[in-house]
């Protein structure tokens, strides 16, 4: 790989006007053009009308494979397990255990409180009945995604967990993906990829059960399909909007440029539309990282992909670490790495990030695989308002309330006054008729206007 091809834009934040700052933090444009939108619409419609037959045709067209059986059978799971190296199987179990430890500890809990004497309000948790997991296998299969989705789905207690992952040309799914699915207790796995897999899980076919909510990353076609089915009342909910993978690193003069460059490249190799940004208050650190990125990138098997991603990335000089935090919050990265002398001193200032990695010995890669946190995270700025996948993502929170007669006496007048203020007479009477049945004087007359 010719490292001279690598170009990363170098900027000084203080020298940029507002328009230039917006441009500096702009993501690679997501292509939601008419061709993509219409193409996905056609695939979804074909699956809805043609079912399994359409899925076989689409798999032949897009994945270049012939599917005899759409669902992975028990013999295929056994064969996949037999082909994996013992070390890889042990690593999958080790990662799953840590993911489970963290997700069990952070799972929502039922709650109940008396908000007034005789007024009990509770929150109960129920699993989403049937969920669909999508595990990509394009340029690289992702068994880690099967772990990140399958473990919290199991903890939540989902009654049926369906997983789709594209088949290779030989009609088989990646062995590690199948093994991870078996380890996490996924109930059904289908050899399907792309928009057709999303359509199948959203609407159902003779083979693939229709799901209530869909999870997982994917390419532009998968993302567009998720957006389309989530906007259809007959479709399925989705975990979050998605975009290309990204990392933002804040590094000070004491940071190790070898580590910083490695972290930047670990995201750049994901795909040509990935983005990496480095913020530092040290020109010397920026210089060192730029040289180190050149050196390390030349050694990567996926260097060509990384180079494309680096062409849309930024090295930005900031005046201080406090300013770096402000810039990071504005960007709202999927992954935020704080390679500074005292990373926890910056942590309280972080408002928007999918996942944060503190200090020199915490590469983002551990979060991708086995620290225990989830790697399915909001990208493309959605960390301003979305959180990463967790057990809560696979559950519904249902509130419950029960009043005694004394409880209704305590809060009924408040309810009646507010209902009258909103001119909802039936709401008011649902309370006052009960109070009258208790023999109470009803002091709240019907009203069509607010009276000071």
Domains of the chain: 3-30+243-372 (3.40.50.1980), 34-107+127-240 (3.40.50.1980), 404-452 (1.20.5)
Give the mean model confidence (pLDDT) for residues 401-423. Answer: 96
- Are the CB atoms for 122 and 110 separated by under 8 Å? yes
Q: Identify the band that residue 447 occupies on the pLDDT scale cut at 50, 70 and 90.
A: low
Tokens of 289: 């990282």
Instruction: Encode pLDDT of 276-330 as tens digits.
Output: 999 999 999 999 999 999 999 999 999 999 999 999 899 999 999 999 999 999 9
Low-confidence winner among 29-43, 129-143, 256-270 (lowest mean pLDDT): 29-43
Annotated catalytic residue: which of 335, 364, 425, 449? 335
Is 245 annotated to bind a ligand? Reply is: yes
Is 447 annotated to bind a ligand? Reply is: no
Identify the pLDDT of residue 5. 62
Is 329 annotated to bind a ligand? Reply is: no
Identify the pLDDT of residue 6. 79
334 has catalytic annotation? yes
- pTM of the full structure: 0.93
Identify the pLDDT of residue 30. 60
18 has catalytic annotation? no
Is 9 annotated to bind a ligand? Reply is: no
pLDDT surpasses 70 at 160: yes
φ, ψ at 22 (rounded to 5°): -60, -40
pLDDT surpasses 50 at 224: yes
Tell me the C-alpha distance between 51 and 30, whole Å. 30
Identify the pLDDT of residue 2. 53
Annotated catalytic residue: which of 76, 246, 334, 364? 334
Residue holding tokens 């551990």? 366
pLDDT surpasses 60 at 362: yes
């Amino acid at each position: 790989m010719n490292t001279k091809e690598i170009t990363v834009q170098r900027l000084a934040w203080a020298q940029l006007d507002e328009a230039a700052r917006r441009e500096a933090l702009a993501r690679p444009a997501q292509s939601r053009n008419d061709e993509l939108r219409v193409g996905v619409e056609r695939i979804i419609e074909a699956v809805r009308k043609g079912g399994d037959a359409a899925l076989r045709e689409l798999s032949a067209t897009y994945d270049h494979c012939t599917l005899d059986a759409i669902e992975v059978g028990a013999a295929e799971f056994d064969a996949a397990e037999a082909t994996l190296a013992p070390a890889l199987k042990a690593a999958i179990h080790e990662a799953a255990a840590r993911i489970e430890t963290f997700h069990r500890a952070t799972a929502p809990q039922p709650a109940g409180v008396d908000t007034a004497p005789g007024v009990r309000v509770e929150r109960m948790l129920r699993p989403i009945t049937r969920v669909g997991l999508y595990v990509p296998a394009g340029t690289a299969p992702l068994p880690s995604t099967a772990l990140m989705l399958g473990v919290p789905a199991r903890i939540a207690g989902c009654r049926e967990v369906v997983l789709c992952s594209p088949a290779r040309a030989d009609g088989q799914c990646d062995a590690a993906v199948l093994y991870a699915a078996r380890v996490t207790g996924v109930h059904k796995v289908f050899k399907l990829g792309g928009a057709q897999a999303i359509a199948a899980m959203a609407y159902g076919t003779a083979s693939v059960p229709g799901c209530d909510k869909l999870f997982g990353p994917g390419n532009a076609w998968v993302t567009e399909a998720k957006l389309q089915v989530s906007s259809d009342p007959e479709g399925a909910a989705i975990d979050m909007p998605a975009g290309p993978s990204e990392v933002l690193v804040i590094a000070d003069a004491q940071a190790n440029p070898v580590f910083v460059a490695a972290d930047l490249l670990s995201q750049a190799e994901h795909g040509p539309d990935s983005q990496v940004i480095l913020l530092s208050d040290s020109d010397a650190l920026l210089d060192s990282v730029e040289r180190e990125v050149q050196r390390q990138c030349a050694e990567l098997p996926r260097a060509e992909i990384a180079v494309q991603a680096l062409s849309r990335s930024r090295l930005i000089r900031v005046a201080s670490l406090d300013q770096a935090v402000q810039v990071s919050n504005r960007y709202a990265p999927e992954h935020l790495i704080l390679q500074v002398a005292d990373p926890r001193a910056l942590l309280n200032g972080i408002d928007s990030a999918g996942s944060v990695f503190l200090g020199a010995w915490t590469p983002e890669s551990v979060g991708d695989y086995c620290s225990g946190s989830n790697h399915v995270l909001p990208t493309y700025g959605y960390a301003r308002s979305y959180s990463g996948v967790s057990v809560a993502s696979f559950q519904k929170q249902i509130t419950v309330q029960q009043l005694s007669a004394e409880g209704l006496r305590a809060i009924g007048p408040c309810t009646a006054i507010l209902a009258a203020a909103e001119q909802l007479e039936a709401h008011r009477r649902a309370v006052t008729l009960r109070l009258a049945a208790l023999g109470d004087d009803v002091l709240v007359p019907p009203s069509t206007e607010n009276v000071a």
